[in-house]
Amino acid sequence: MSGTIDRVSLPPHHPLVDGRTSGSALVRAYSGDRPERPPVWFMRQAGRSLPEYRESRAGVAMLDACLDPDLAAEITLQPVRRHGVDAAVFFSDIVVPLRLVGVDVEIVPGTGPVIASPVRTVDDVARLRDLGPLDAARVSPVAEGVARTVSRLGTTPLVGFAGAPFTLAAYLVEGGPSRDHLAARRLMHADPAAWAALMDWTAEITGAFVAAQVTAGASAAQLFDSWAGALTLADYTAHCAPASARVLAQAGALGVRTVHFGVGTGELLVAMRDAGADVMGVDYRVPLDEASARLGGRTPLQGNVDPALLAAPWEVLETHVRDVVRRGTAAPAHVVNLGHGVPPDTDPTVLTRLVQLVHSL
């Protein structure tokens, strides 16, 4: 974890600069300080598990909702009001930066993101470059959504959100969701020049996307590498980590703590931390004390309640949550979260009760 954060790059009205969130439990924990009670928030806490979300989204396509500043702010705030979590996470999607620069991408219900023209060659990457940068004008709906959210959050910090360069690249190459990301892994080795150019481009737009959220008021930034678990350690380190390191460094230079999270990435924890993250998110597969040991006991952790247990009897979930919090004491600090996102069919009253339990420990 890096040392003292320099926030001179943030505007004076930023909540970390004016003091609204600088002493919050979340920011303290992300900085390696252990608050009086564990902070807790949930990945995908703003979403389909909430009836108010379904009402807000009625008749509105996912990407359109993400790019409507008022609607994105309202959806971001909903779980904070309902659950009393210690952080909001900005309502967005991994492929939003692609849409913003003009890539033909849609989120198809029941399928996920679908890219109209998959990227498979150097020429395909060059056509992405021809779309131009993710500049302030293009990213303005997101920046405005963040600003409107922060203005209503008070002392609750907002976590900015972005998909990692590899995960974006995997969607672009595969054309949509994939089980094994074979096409992406094939391109990585069959045409290293095309792959390097693609990762350079995805790092550039991801960095701009994160920077816009941080400058507009996010108090931390989380990089989601959803598909990095498909990679070997050698491939991740050589072909993906440098691009993520660029994004994490760009966010850190602005003056916020960064979190790095991947699914099925237990074998990549050290490499992902060494890409420059202040905090490592851990999925439900690796116990937190084991994760802390792998990381040398010096990295704050986030996680890792098993989302499947949200549907278990309360006594089963409570025992599990207490065990997660106990194991989290092996790290310098611990933010309670899920080991992946909130399942859409989760009973929201369970999440509220879970927050109350964590706050009582």
| Distance (Å) of CA 300 to CA 33, 107, 165, 219, 336 | 9, 34, 23, 16, 11
Q: Are strands 112-115 and 105-108 parallel, antiparallel or unpaired?
A: antiparallel
C-alpha–C-alpha distance, residues 274 and 47, integer Å: 31
Burial class (CB in 10 A: 0-12, 13-18, 19+), 258: buried
C-alpha–C-alpha distance, residues 26 and 7, integer Å: 17
Q: What is the DSSP letter of 43?
A: T
Is 322 part of the annotated catalytic residue set? Answer: no
Per the residue annotation, which of 20, 28, 44, 120 is the catalytic one?
Answer: 44
Is 171 part of the annotated catalytic residue set? Answer: yes
Per the residue annotation, which of 171, 185, 283, 327 is the catalytic one?
Answer: 171
Per the residue annotation, which of 68, 86, 93, 283 is the catalytic one?
Answer: 93
* Beta strands in the chain, from DSSP E residues, in sequence order: 88-89, 105-108, 112-115, 158-163, 220-225, 257-262, 279-281, 301-305, 334-338
Amino acid in the structure at residue 141? P
Q: Are 90 and 69 in contact (CB under 8 A)?
A: no
Is 285 part of the annotated catalytic residue set? Answer: no
Per the residue annotation, which of 28, 30, 53, 57 is the catalytic one?
Answer: 57
- Cα angle for residues 235, 240, 244 (degrees, 5° grid): 150
Is 236 part of the annotated catalytic residue set? Answer: no
Is 57 part of the annotated catalytic residue set? Answer: yes
Per the residue annotation, which of 37, 48, 152, 294 is the catalytic one?
Answer: 48
- Cα angle for residues 38, 39, 41 (degrees, 5° grid): 135
C-alpha–C-alpha distance, residues 173 and 237, integer Å: 19
Tell me the catalytic residues. Answer: 44, 48, 57, 93, 171
